[in-house]
Amino acid sequence: MELTREEQAWLDGRGGEATRLALGLVVRMGELFGAERLLPITQAHIDACLYTNDAGLEFAERFAALGARVRVPTTLNVTARDIRRWEAFRVPPDWAEKSRRLEAAYQGLGCLPTWTCAPYEQGLVPRFGQQVAWGESNAVAYVNTVIGARTNRYADFLDVACAISGRAPAFGLHLDAPRRGQVLVDLRQLPETLRAHPSLYPILGYHIGALTGDRIPVLDGVPPSVRATDLKAFCAAGASSGALALAHVVGVTPEAPTREAAFQGRAPEETLVVTRADLRAARARLSPAPVDGVDFVKLGCPHLSLAEAVEVAERVAGRRVRSGLEFWVSTSRAVAHHLGESGRLAALESAGVRLLTDTCAMTTRIDGWGFTHMLTNSAKQAHYALASGLEATVASLEDCVMYALGDGALEAEEALWER
């Protein structure tokens, strides 16, 4: 690999041991993928800050002990607990303590304690064409697809190494040619009412992710008015059922104003025509059990945006969540702050909604609650709930709230998929 004079000096240890170790990881990974050089990055988003085992803790504390500092603005993904209220969410003390040490280690490196899996909705939002190094699958897919910044799917620890060195290997989605669309996904046979409905996008993402794996789909037929929230749900679902890191949404993705531009003037390798029957089958895989057994309603995977949280607060204002059911909303501390300032946090809590910040039900410990059936608007959340042994049902945000308040049994949601 061709390195600049400065990079070679760092690799030789003249920038300190932490930089030598971090850059060595980046160079080694680049060599494995055939990268010929490194790229300066403008920011990083670290997923390794989530405590899952002691190896991750030892990795972070070793760099902290070496005095490592990140070279670019770096945000932190969710941690493994609600930092201020972990006891109220029944997180075991030993788990909370190791999570605290991990959080401290990364803040010691100079990372920003954003504690959110949706960093693109607040704070450091990159611009079109910028090179970044992001971990967290939904964030990677979103930043490539919606913003048009460039990152590969950085695994835990490599995201840290990129942040400390300020470099990423020049391969994959950092370059032009590998961003070419591969599979045409034709949505034009779907009814306009369905294409305009938010319920479509998590199911569509789940379906497309499973079909395309790590290939790049090009979606033709998405209305230009599609909401960022819906694209967030699409990206998260596609990155859970497959390895979606970039989808070109014709007329929406900045580098895909036309189908031809998305394919860089070449023909698609394959064409998939999506039908309602396909989507009903995907939805059925995510909602295999009758909804009657729901005891846990969960919104916020990825973290709820401020607009989504306001919508929930307004829908539950003056009401109460039905008895025997827990209703949790996961969001960032920044969104929680805005809710508090506007008085909407009180409306949520008065209704019996628990606001879970810094983490989410997928990444913290919920085994102490004994839940059996989750209702969620997130295909990603349902996918991982099913994998962990919970039953799951997917519905729109509106229908999830109605169900939690005892106002409906999801009949309207069912009708949407049959029309």
pLDDT band at 367, cuts 50/70/90?
very high
pLDDT at 36: 97
pLDDT band at 419, cuts 50/70/90?
low
pLDDT at 412: 63
The sheet with strand 296-304 has its strands ordered as 353-357, 326-331, 296-304, 373-376, 391-394
pLDDT at 288: 87
Span 332-336, average pLDDT: 97
Angle at 377 between CA 83 and CA 186, to 5 degrees: 130
For residues 131 and 44, give the distance between their C-alpha atoms in angstroms, rounded to a whole number. 9
pLDDT at 123: 79
Say yes or no to pLDDT of 8 above 70: yes
The values of phi and psi at residue 298, to 5°, are: -135, 120
pLDDT band at 378, cuts 50/70/90?
very high
Note the pTM of the prediction, 2 decimals: 0.96
Contacts (Cβ under 8 Å, ≥6 apart) of 334 = 114, 116, 122, 123
Is there a contact between 70 and 108 (Cβ–Cβ < 8 Å)? no
Say yes or no to pLDDT of 415 above 80: no
Say yes or no to pLDDT of 126 above 80: yes
Span 31-60, average pLDDT: 97
Say yes or no to pLDDT of 380 above 70: yes
Length of the chain: 419
Is there a contact between 106 and 46 (Cβ–Cβ < 8 Å)? yes
pLDDT at 411: 66
Say yes or no to pLDDT of 62 above 90: yes
- What average pLDDT is seen over the chain? 96
The model's pLDDT over 10-21, given as tens digits with 9 standing for 90+, comes to 999 999 999 999
The model's pLDDT over 234-250, given as tens digits with 9 standing for 90+, comes to 999 999 999 999 999 99
Q: By mean pLDDT, which of 168-172, 191-195, 299-303 is the weakest?
A: 191-195
Is there a contact between 231 and 200 (Cβ–Cβ < 8 Å)? no
Say yes or no to pLDDT of 152 above 90: yes
First to last CA, the chain: 56
Half-sphere exposure at residue 59, Cβ-oriented, CA atoms within 13 angstroms: 18
Q: By mean pLDDT, which of 132-136, 145-149, 415-419 is the weakest?
A: 415-419
The values of phi and psi at residue 271, to 5°, are: -120, 130
- What's the longest Cα–Cα distance across the chain? 66
Span 338-344, average pLDDT: 96
The model's pLDDT over 63-87, given as tens digits with 9 standing for 90+, comes to 999 999 999 999 999 999 999 999 9
Is there a contact between 393 and 382 (Cβ–Cβ < 8 Å)? yes
Q: Quick one: 83 exposed, middle or buried, by C-beta within 10 A (0-12, 13-18, 19+)?
A: middle
pLDDT band at 416, cuts 50/70/90?
confident
For residues 166 and 155, give the distance between their C-alpha atoms in angstroms, rounded to a whole number. 16
Please report, for residues 17, 26, 208, 234, the alpha-carbon distance to residue 186 in angstroms, rounded to integers and kept in the order given. Answer: 51, 38, 11, 15
pLDDT at 352: 98
- The rounded percent of the chain whose pLDDT value lies above 90 is 94
* Residue appearing with tokens 């969710």: 78
Contacts (Cβ under 8 Å, ≥6 apart) of 170 = 30, 35, 36, 37, 38, 39
Say yes or no to pLDDT of 291 above 90: no
pLDDT at 94: 97
For residues 43 and 326, give the distance between their C-alpha atoms in angstroms, rounded to a whole number. 37
pLDDT at 204: 98
